[in-house]
Amino acid sequence: MLRTTSLQLAVGARVLVERLDWRVAAGECWCVLGRNGAGKSTLLRTLAGLHEADAGTIALHGRVLTDYSPVDLARLRAFLPQSRHDAFGYCVMDAVLAARHPLHQGRYWESTADHAAAVAALSAMEVQDLAHRDIRSLSGGERQRVAIAAALAQDTPLLMLDEPANALDLAHQVQTMALISRLCRHEGRSVIMVAHDLNLARATATHALLLMGNGGWRAGTVVDIMQDDLLSTCLGHPIESVQVPGRTLFLPVHSVVTEDKA
């Protein structure tokens, strides 16, 4: 599906990612973990073809990313940014239908199939009742669910999601992650998502990519990579895991603060 070779990303003199040799296969769900400023969003934007790498190559379906036209690339990968700004008032349905544009292949107006895909995506995110609302009137969580619906409606084999659980309440976080997991398991789609919640990531992802913040990285299955010592180094804070029936939970280690008594 996607492969990077000796990929390097930097901000000024600081190296974010150094010599990343990495492969994402069909049906895999990768979570990208790291502290703030480690390069997670930069990496995702680079993989999506929206930011130029400092060195190395990215190949999608065996073809170098820069060889794709924007339209052809949009048919293969959907990208959910970390944030967005809606400058104009348009309805939710139009926002989701816009994601179908790369599939029109010369058609000007949306087809019945486009409308069906948009309705299905809105329903999957439980926002079908908002279809005719002005997008600027939505809450942050509602807007995030509409944005995810647009990515789903694009109907690509690869989804790149920057903090998909951002602004969602607990129930919709769980629902969204369960949906992502089903897309990988049952439809063979691949997902690369930036995440901060270790427990949601562990419950959803099949693989993890840790960005260490100094150019270093570790990649592999969640079982191999989401280990206490590696996560503690990656996130800059001690992490310990607890085994409960059927799952592993990760907890930050809290220091006990004592006050001197006069």
The answer to whether residues 108 and 221 belong to one domain is no
Tokens of 144: 């995030």
Cα 121 to chain centroid, rounded: 17
Q: Hunting for tokens 């002005």 — which residue is that?
A: 134
Whether residues 57 and 114 fall in one domain: no
Vertex 22 angle, CA 190 and 33, to 5°: 70
For 37-84, strand residue ranges (E) read: 55-60, 63-64, 77-80
CATH code of residue 202 = 3.40.50.300
Number of H helices, E strands in the chain: 9, 12
Is 45 part of a structural domain of the chain? Answer: yes
Distance (Å) of CA 214 to CA 11, 36, 115, 239: 11, 12, 46, 19
Lowest mean pLDDT, pick from 6-10, 85-89, 97-101, 148-152: 85-89
Please state whether beta strands 247-252 and 77-80 pair in parallel, antiparallel, or not at all (unpaired). unpaired
Residue 116 domain boundaries = 84-155
> What per-residue confidence (pLDDT) applies to 246?
83
* Domain end marker among 127, 155, 183: 155
Determine the pLDDT at residue 88: 79
Number of domains in the chain: 2
Secondary structure of the chain: what % helix, strand, coil (to 5)?
A: 35, 30, 35
Rounded Cα distance between 154 and 189, Å, is: 13
Same domain, 26 and 142: no
The pLDDT assigned to 262 comes to 46
CB of 163 within 8 A of CB of 82? yes
Let me know if residue 89 belongs to a domain. yes
Kindly state whether residues 61 and 102 are assigned to the same domain. Answer: no
**197 and 67 within one domain:** yes
**What are 117-128's pLDDT values in tens digits?**
999 999 999 999
Taking 50 as the threshold, does the pLDDT of residue 188 lie above it? yes
Checking if the pLDDT of 38 tops 60, the result is yes
* Residue 89, pLDDT score: 81
206 domain residue, yes or no: yes
Specify the pTM: 0.90
| Residue 39 sits in the same domain as residue 135 | no
Residues 68 and 111 in one domain: no
From the CA atom positions of the chain, what is the Rg in Å?
20
Whether residue 88 lies inside any domain: the answer is: yes
Between CA 158 and CA 191 the distance in angstroms is 6
Confidence of residue 86 (pLDDT cuts 50, 70, 90): confident
Please check whether residue 24 lies inside any domain of the structure.
yes
Based on the fold, state whether residues 150 and 162 are members of the same structural domain.
no
Question: Per-residue pLDDT averaged across 208-213, rounded?
Answer: 95
Please check whether residue 261 lies inside any domain of the structure: no
Average pLDDT over all residues of the chain = 91
**1 and 70 in a common domain:** yes
Domain check: are 124 and 6 in the same one?
no
Within-domain flag for 244: no
What is the C-alpha to C-alpha distance for residues 135 and 86, in angstroms, rounded to an integer?
8
